[in-house]
Amino acid sequence: DAGVIQSPRHEVTEMGQEVTLRCKPISGHDYLFWYRQTMMRGLELLIYFNNNVPIDDSGMPEDRFSAKMPNASFSTLKIQPSEPRDSAVYFCASSFAVSGANVLTFGAGSRLTVL
């Protein structure tokens, strides 16, 4: 398996533009997580899905952020409109439960810079 695949790897955009980040999880994994990483705040959980259904989106900063998982092999995280404070590395991770705990496999991340 190619692992968790994220695109784009790097995105530079201007404030106010729409940004769409994409993730292809590992086949057979039934959980998908979106995290954001910054130097100041570390790894923050934004939202996670189980069997394509959003379970907890309490980490989504505000209404400008939305995430979807239309099928088991694809998820998107959209920011509209983007702001400079959204600059961060966004990680997607997928998993299945082992002994009741979820071991995450992370993608390489999407580095977002909003000017």
Partner 1 sequence: EDQVTQSPEALRLQEGESSSLNCSYTVSGLRGLFWYRQDPGKGPEFLFTLYSAGEEKEKERLKATLTKKESFLHITAPKPEDSATYLCAVQGYSSASKIIFGSGTRLSIRP
Q: Please report whether residue 70 would count as binding partner 1 according to CB under 8 A.
A: no
Residues 72-101 that bind partner 1 (CB under 8 A): 91, 93, 97-101
End-to-end CA distance of the chain: 36
List 43, 83, 84, 85, residue binding partner 1 (CB under 8 A): 43
Q: Please report whether residue 48 would count as binding partner 1 according to CB under 8 A.
A: yes
Place of tokens 């959204």: 86
The C-alpha atoms of residue 94 and residue 87 are separated, in whole angstroms, by 23
Give the residue from 11, 2, 1 showing the smallest Cα distance to 109: 11
Q: Please report whether residue 108 would count as binding partner 1 according to CB under 8 A.
A: yes
* CB 52, min distance to partner 1, A: 14
Based on its alpha-carbon atoms, the radius of gyration of the chain, rounded to whole angstroms, reads: 13
Question: What's the token pair of residue 31?
Answer: 């959980």
The residues binding partner 1 (CB under 8 A) are 4, 31, 33, 35, 42-43, 45, 48, 50, 55-56, 91, 93, 97-109
